[in-house]
Amino acid sequence: MEILWSRLQEFSNWDFLSQVALRTGIWYKKLSVRTVVWVANRDHPLPVASKLILKITDQGILGLFNNISMIWSSNSTTSWNATAKLRDNGNLVVIDQNEKVLWLSFDYPTDTLLPGMKLGRDYLRSREWHLSSWKTSEDPGQEDGRGWQLAVSFQRDTCDTYNICDAYGICSVNTVQQSCTCLDEKKFAPKNQKGWDTADWSGGCIRCTPLECKNGSEGFIKS
């Protein structure tokens, strides 16, 4: 299989071995200790003696093949000539002859967050990006749903409570006290001062002087 280097040769793509399995992945080239940042066939390892070939099919699919079948593939298709490139940030991409990106490894992270990667959910495109830990230091297979384990947690303060100060209020924390204040104490005041004096900020703040939108003295500016 042809080795893919990033332009600045920060990353390399090649087969790597554990004690009993063969996988294809991406790691930092210049680190003395091999640091793998992405794995293609993480849940489909092959015996150490297997021969792997990473190539682009006629349909524009980046596939990993052994002597028998395709072990792993991208979900990219195109009628144009496609090429695989390893970018300087560690992103393995499949592009067509017009440099349009058809597939990228950053959309399928393993356990490492690299600069430029996304985490979270895109509801418009029904896409989700998340990290998943290795089973062991030698086995990059996914954790079968167990995922990350909480190592340490910190006690939440009152300001972590959603909408604790209600309308026009700000929650502040210092070494002396923890309380809500109005956004601008010259223009806003607590709706229920007695409640605020007893740490009940549920009423929020109200304007000291109501807005005068009808006479045109206040309102919104059209940009």
CATH of the domain at 101: 2.90.10
Tell me, yes or no, whether 136 lies in a domain: no
Tell me, yes or no, whether 141 lies in a domain: no
Tell me, yes or no, whether 214 lies in a domain: no
| Same-domain pairing of 105 and 170 | no
Q: What's the CA gap between 2 and 89, in Å, rounded?
A: 19
Give burial (CB, 10 Å; 0-12/13-18/19+) of 219: exposed
| Same-domain pairing of 8 and 111 | yes
Q: Indicate yes or no: pTM above 0.85.
A: no
Tell me, yes or no, whether 125 lies in a domain: no
Tell me, yes or no, whether 124 lies in a domain: no
Instruction: Please answer whether residues 61 and 76 qualify as being in contact, where contact means their C-beta atoms are separated by less than 8 angstroms.
Output: yes
| Same-domain pairing of 81 and 183 | no
| Same-domain pairing of 97 and 196 | no
Tens of pLDDT, residue by residue, the chain (223 residues): 444 544 444 566 554 545 457 788 888 888 888 888 999 888 888 877 677 788 888 888 888 888 778 888 988 777 678 888 888 888 999 998 888 899 999 999 999 999 899 999 888 888 899 999 998 888 888 876 655 555 555 546 778 778 889 999 998 876 456 588 998 889 999 999 998 888 888 889 999 988 776 666 666 666 5
| Same-domain pairing of 14 and 99 | yes
Q: Parallel, antiparallel, or unpaired: how do β-strands 62-65 and 70-73 relate? A: antiparallel
Domain count, the chain: 2
| Same-domain pairing of 98 and 178 | no
Query: Which residue range(s) make up the domain with 193?
Result: 158-207
Instruction: Please answer whether residues 84 and 57 qualify as being in contact, where contact means their C-beta atoms are separated by less than 8 angstroms.
Output: no
